Structure 1
Amino acid sequence: MIFYIARQPIFDRRRGLFAYELLFRDGFENAFPDIDSDEATERLVESSELSTGIEALTGQNRAFINFTEQSICNQLPQLLPKQNTVVELLETVAPTDDVFQSVTSLKDKGYTVALDDFEFDDRWQRFLPLIDIVKMDFRALSIAQIKQQMRAHRGFTGRYLAEKVETYDEFKQALELGFDYFQGYFFAKPEVIQRRSLSASQKVYLELLDKISADDYNPDEIAQIIERDTGVSYKLLRFVNSAFFARRSEITSLKQAVVRLGQAEIRKFVALISTASLGESKPNELTQLSITRARFCEQLAQMNPRYGADPGTAFLSGLLSKLDAMMDDELSQILTHIHAGTTIRDALIDKKGAIGFFLITAEAIERVHWKKIDQAAKQLKLSSDTVIKLYHDASSWARAASGSA
């Protein structure tokens, strides 16, 4: 049996990965399952813990899981490991005596407790000393309302989580208000405060990306650029000799690497190490997302030759699609350093062409937009299950690749 679980990352003030929120899904045909919240919670707990283990879904990070009033009172959270489970009380939970006793019991056992979409009233006052995290919805509340709510939380000594933060301005406002955790799409968008000068290493990596994206590809030029930077040379040799490529004999020189691998493969691993290095100061999730998109777009190009998309160009486009978040600049500005061709620019900036469509499909999967996934699958002449499996396979490939880069 296949379980469908969506996960959304939660970041800390430094934009490091703090946790994931796990969300129950009932396949692709039913975007909003026609089951009650209690059954959804029970099935999520069963699938995450009893099927694969919650750690496999979160990579050892914390998991925020929604619980209804009934599941809280039935102590369902106790089926999950306390060390990495955040018990999230849905906004529909009423502050009853039974709920208070159940939350007290969970706290005594060492669980972390959060309130979802919380809006304070006096009935919740006695709960606040038991609560570790309060989530507040930036789409539902104004800044003035958020300030008012925070002032009303007498006795609360925990942390605040800003939910549905989708712009840099909202992220900045949340920081100034004292929020510690952030959930939404702000991390995937440009965070432009001012233009920033490029470091020496960034210039090398961007120059490498420029050369491998050019039509007149020249392996000798790539080797010469790499030779100028010892760090890049080391990473390249380590990467090409890693288990990821499973070489029969060790490659000991840059020239040997260029000759042995050939044009298509050297383009791929140079693109990988450049992207991974440009994203070193950012959450690892961002680099893995870039590599996942790259592999996913490459697979779709290979499986759908009728679209006329070059798999190598599709791969590179997927990798470049998150450079705005990695370098805190607009993607259009970054691409001027790379001199990316029309196909890549159209795909990344305007989402045009076959590769633009592949990227739209990837984004639909990442945002768990089931209707768009179904529509894309039909256009690709694939089943929704096949499309999502391709993305999951790409994600596994990305973990292996980023571990070697």
Structure 2
Amino acid sequence: MDDANIFVGRQPILNRNGDIYAYELLYRNSHKNFYPDVDPDQATIRLLVNTFLTIGLEKVSGKSLSFINFTGELLTQDIISSLDPKRVVIEVLETVEITPLLLTKLRLLKEMGFKLALDDFILQEQYSVHSELFNLVNFIKVDYLNTTPIERLEIEKLIMKYPSIVLLAEKIETEEQFEAAKASGYSLFQGYFFSKPEIVTGIEIPSNVVLQFQIIKRLHSEPLNIDEIVGLIMHDVSLTYKLLRLINTYAFEVLKKISSIKQAIVLIGLRETKRWIQVLALREIGEGSGNGRTRALVDYSLTRAKMCELLARRDGQENPEEYFLAGMFSLINVIMKRDWDAVFHLIPLSDEVVRTVKGERTEMTPYLQLTEAVERFDWERIEELTSKMGITQPELSKYSLEAHHWAQSLQQ
């Protein structure tokens, strides 16, 4: 198997305030679909070596902790010693048999500084026999979707004896589950509850973002006057600084540094200028919200935007910038807690982008659907869409990682 074929994804783990605490790094190693006849242990080893040691954890999960699944066999391998204990949480899969030998290995990992997690935890007899395990682990992950309230209550009672253990609720799908888990003593949460619309109350839009939306609207109007646009942008000192910094860093490789807004517009054009203001506006909403969940949604939106654009450029689409916008604004109703019509009253977008993000079928739809499937690790949907679109697994892996890295760099 070519190392490039290993697909890496990440799912955020949030704390009680909604801030990103860590990412679980997931990979595809099924015996069907993408990876026929691949041993899961070998797939994981190649994943660790190729992706984490070669590319670096920084590009995958930034400065956050990374939860990584390990089988019983891999827990005995020396490869773990190559990982950074300050960055990696060793996640023991639920299928791993707890034995005296395993406990010895886990004790050594703890001495090396690693944090340990038990995945998909359900009380079993082996945990009663090897109760010392609970003195070693830092996190217990509970599948909130596939456990009963009684099963969860038994786990919660047990954990009260071990105050150093942090409870993590997995597969939280609704706001109600999130609140119930918090009330039951869970401190960390994993799932897609934060990307689903809440009651539409609306959030206050920062004044600088309102100005940015006004500039975007003016950029959609005719006739365009560059001096007028420059004046509008320079009215906001923060926007001027951030826009110049973004353009110098990400937009184009030019022989000399762009030092003025007018120079930037002349060099990169009004279309690119508008695009970067839109990126800044979205980022400002995330930063100004004071809410970790909103910041996570902005990160998802930027990742979707870049991935849609990369896929559109791969296919030679004439308007990859529009695909970028479809990805970027696909969660804007959730971010702003407004219905679509109220959002698009503020943000001028093409009819096709609006129809795409509202769920109507357009040429852009498969691209957005694929980014969403990758985001959710919906392997069946990924296979269906990549097959129809003629996208290979190495290409998808490449674009996904590039999009993650790009979005992450913008948030720094």
Q: Which amino acid aligns with 1:334?
A: V
**Contact in 2 for aligned 1:208/1:222 (Cα 8 Å):** yes
Distance 1:298 1:28 in 2: 31
1:358 aligns with 2:361: no
1:368 aligns with 2:371: no
Q: Look up the match of 2:104.
A: 101
**Stretch of structure 1 that moved more, 41-50 or 158-167:** 41-50
2:154 equivalent among 139, 148, 155: 148
| Unmatched runs of 5 consecutive residues or more in structure 2 | none
1:308-319 matches, within 5 Å, as 310-319=319-328
Q: Look up the match of 2:94.
A: 91
**Stretch of structure 1 that moved more, 290-299 or 71-80:** 71-80
Structure-2 change in CA distance of 1:256 and 1:98 (3 Å): closer
Distance 1:2 1:38 in 2: 14
Q: Which amino acid aligns with 2:85?
A: K
* SS of match in other structure, 1:113: strand
Q: Look up the match of 2:134.
A: 128
**Contact in 2 for aligned 1:237/1:253 (Cα 8 Å):** yes
Distance 1:151 1:187 in 2: 27
1:386 equivalent among 387, 391, 395: 395
1:258 equivalent among 242, 245, 265: 265
**Stretch of structure 1 that moved more, 369-378 or 349-358:** 369-378
TM-score, with length taken from structure 2: 0.83
1:322 aligns with 2:331: yes
Q: Which amino acid aligns with 2:309?
A: E
**Stretch of structure 1 that moved more, 6-15 or 268-277:** 6-15
Q: Look up the match of 1:173.
A: 180
Structure-2 change in CA distance of 1:300 and 1:105 (3 Å): closer
Does 1 or 2 have the higher relative contact order (CA < 8 Å, sep 6+)?
Answer: 2
1:132 CA drift (Å) = 0.5
Q: Look up the match of 1:115.
A: 118
1:279 CA drift (Å) = 1.9
Q: Which amino acid aligns with 2:3?
A: I
**Contact in 1 for aligned 2:29/2:40 (Cα 8 Å):** no
Distance 1:314 1:219 in 2: 26
* SS of match in other structure, 2:3: coil
1:295 aligns with 2:295: no
Q: Which amino acid aligns with 2:284?
A: S
* SS of match in other structure, 1:66: strand
Q: Look up the match of 1:338.
A: 347
**Contact in 1 for aligned 2:168/2:189 (Cα 8 Å):** yes
1:47-58 matches, within 5 Å, as 47-58=50-61
**Contact in 2 for aligned 1:351/1:360 (Cα 8 Å):** no
Q: Percent identity, aligned pairs only?
A: 28
Aligned length, in residue pairs = 400
* SS of match in other structure, 2:368: helix
Q: Which amino acid aligns with 2:308?
A: C
Distance 2:31 2:359 in 1: 27
1:248 CA drift (Å) = 3.5
| Unmatched runs of 5 consecutive residues or more in structure 1 | none
1:386 CA drift (Å) = 2.9
Q: RMSD over aligned Cα, in angstroms? A: 3.3
**Contact in 2 for aligned 1:18/1:61 (Cα 8 Å):** yes
Structure-2 change in CA distance of 1:33 and 1:341 (3 Å): same
Q: Which amino acid aligns with 1:291?
A: L
**Stretch of structure 1 that moved more, 26-35 or 93-102:** 26-35
1:127 CA drift (Å) = 1.8
Q: Look up the match of 1:268.
A: 275
Q: Which amino acid aligns with 1:2?
A: D
1:324 CA drift (Å) = 3.7
